[in-house]
Amino acid sequence: MTTESSSLLRAPHRTQPRLDRAVMLVAIACVLIVVGASFVSPGILSPGYLLQQLQIASILGVLATGAMLVILLGQIDLSVPLTITATAILSTTLAGSGVPALEALAIPAGLAGGVLIGLINGLGVVLFRIPSMVWTLAVNAMLLGITVFYTGGFKPNGAPPTLAVFIAHGRTLGIPNAFLLWLVVGGVTTFLLRKTIFGTYVYAYGQAQRALFMAGAPVERLTLAVFAFAGFMSSLGSLLLVGYANQAYQGMGDTYLLPVIAAVVIGGTSILGGSGSYAGTFVGALFITLLSSVLSLMQVPDALRQFIFGAIILLMLLINRHPRTR
């Protein structure tokens, strides 16, 4: 094992001070958005509005969780939109089938579908050595064809799973269940990244894949596991979205790709991989949700909103363009 390899495996994610600064800056920006918007609409400061934003941000946060791990590898997953749509259609079709056995499988089947899509993405990168950007974009296009063929381009028949509706809309002690689920997801993900060999490998892969391979780490299995995890999170976020919207529809995931990537990058995760913290993704998802809500209140056109999201991503890429500390 080389000196570089051993150093990567010992502490690949200790050199994170500027990421902590990024988290603080984004958190401050969230506060400024809320306070600034309150001068236009004082109701923004009400507990009801803020809890609703936490509820909505939970969907984006869960989706961004899987995307973050893929980006930590230095890869990208562009199949998020149709993974959301396909698993939503699958789960609502089973939940609305009228057959108790199939209804019970609605959520497990939806989650399994996401894992399967993630494994297909990982296999393309591992077996065929095709860049993840190209492979996942092709998978997204194939999923689009499958869903259009199945639905005929119309709204699919079905019903949202009862549990999905309960989590998306229900509250425990006044706190949205979706937000509580997001906290659990965030806690588990943080533990995996900071306290397990899996997390060590993820950071080391993004910093120096060749060194990790030379150290004898299971690089291929790691890649498959991360993409499968990302697929699982996309399907979990899809179920939250289904429960929140009380339906599945063609193209329901189309608007999430850019916000998901923005939430990860804004939080300080390097698009080159190897550095980032889940706290950054957490505040990034809150920032995107609050910004989108405020822009909607101000009746900013959707085209301008997309432009703003893209500009923010470019700005964060410029801020974090310095070489990573190895």
CATH of span 3-38+47-319: 1.10.3470
Q: State the average pLDDT over residues 140-157.
A: 91
Integer Cα distance of 299 and 292 in angstroms: 10
pTM: 0.91
pLDDT band at 14 (very low <50, low <70, confident <90, very high): very low
Whether the per-residue pLDDT at 100 is higher than 90: the answer is yes
**Cβ contact 68:269 at 8 Å:** yes
Contact criterion met (CB below 8 Å) for 139 and 212: no
- Name the one residue in this structure whose structure tokens are 């507990």: 47
pLDDT for position 25: 87
Cα(147)–Cα(130) distance, integer angstroms: 24
pLDDT number for residue 8:
54
Lookup: tokens for 188: 């588990």
Of 4-13, 41-50, 269-278, 294-303, the one with minimum mean pLDDT is 4-13
pLDDT at 322: 53
Instruction: Give the residues across from 176 on adjacent strands.
Output: 171
Question: What local confidence, expressed as pLDDT, does residue 154 receive?
Answer: 82
Instruction: Supply the pLDDT for residue 213.
Output: 86
Distance of CA 171 to the CA centre of its chain: 23
Long-range (24+ apart) CB contacts under 8 A made by 212-215 are 212/5, 212/8, 212/9, 214/1, 214/2, 214/5, 215/1, 215/2, 215/5, 215/6, 215/8, 215/9
Assess whether pLDDT exceeds 60 at residue 5.
no
